[in-house]
Amino acid sequence: SKLSGIRPWKRQRGMRAATRFPKLLSSKTGVLCCDVQEKFRRAIKHMDSVIHHSKWMLNAANELKMPIIITEQYPKGLGETVSELQDEIKNGKSYKFEKTQFSMITKEVEEVLKNDLTNYDTWIIVGIESHVCVQQTCLTMREHGYDVYILADAVSSQKPDDRKIALERMRQAGAVVTTTESAIFELLGDFKNPAAKKLTQRAKNRPDAGLYS
């Protein structure tokens, strides 16, 4: 059965078939940035890691000319996207939407995917919370046949157990769970890539994501 409020759509011809372990290609990959908002700054466990790694991934997307879709959950009450990410979401090819539903895939986002970003069959997800909005976004995208990567050090929840179980459920749903550095280096492919030097410098002094603590 289809999720309530989500209209099914057909993937476009020429797109790669969804696989369990696709290879990341910058020409086929976009980033979904889910609800990294000011009100959550003190509530989310390891929020410093979420912000740091989300910024790194968004910066990579801009450098590699990848599209970015940003959502904000009820920003009137929960605030805008955190200040650290503002420069990244204002640059490059980005789309920003407000929402009240948990999944990022609102009708507006669906229209962008169907009409503007038809060549992108793989989506990287960063943001919060792992077990609610991130998970429901992942499940919706998998339902519609997209390949999904979850950056484990760029997602979190208020409770560590919720993140742990959510990562496992998303993996069971066919998403690839990896880290930000791994995804970026895969997208770069070669240190000769013009963006490599700038992006690899951010690998130093990263905050602990708490994945194995």
Q: Please give the full DSSP string across 91-148, using - where no structure is assigned.
A: SSSEEEEEESSSSS--HHHHHHHHHT-TT--EEEEEEE-IIIIIHHHHHHHHHTT-EE
Among the listed residues 33, 34, 133, 138, the single catalytic one is: 133
Is residue 116 part of the annotated active site? The answer reads no
Is residue 133 part of the annotated active site? The answer reads yes
**CA neighbor of 200 nearest in space, from 213, 190, 210:** 190
Is residue 87 part of the annotated active site? The answer reads no
C-alpha dihedral, 37 to 186 to 207 to 127, nearest 10°: 20
Among the listed residues 33, 35, 138, 147, the single catalytic one is: 35
Among the listed residues 33, 55, 99, 153, the single catalytic one is: 99
- Tell me the residue type at 147: D
**CA neighbor of 103 nearest in space, from 131, 66, 62:** 131
Instruction: Give the catalytic positions in this structure.
Output: 35, 99, 133
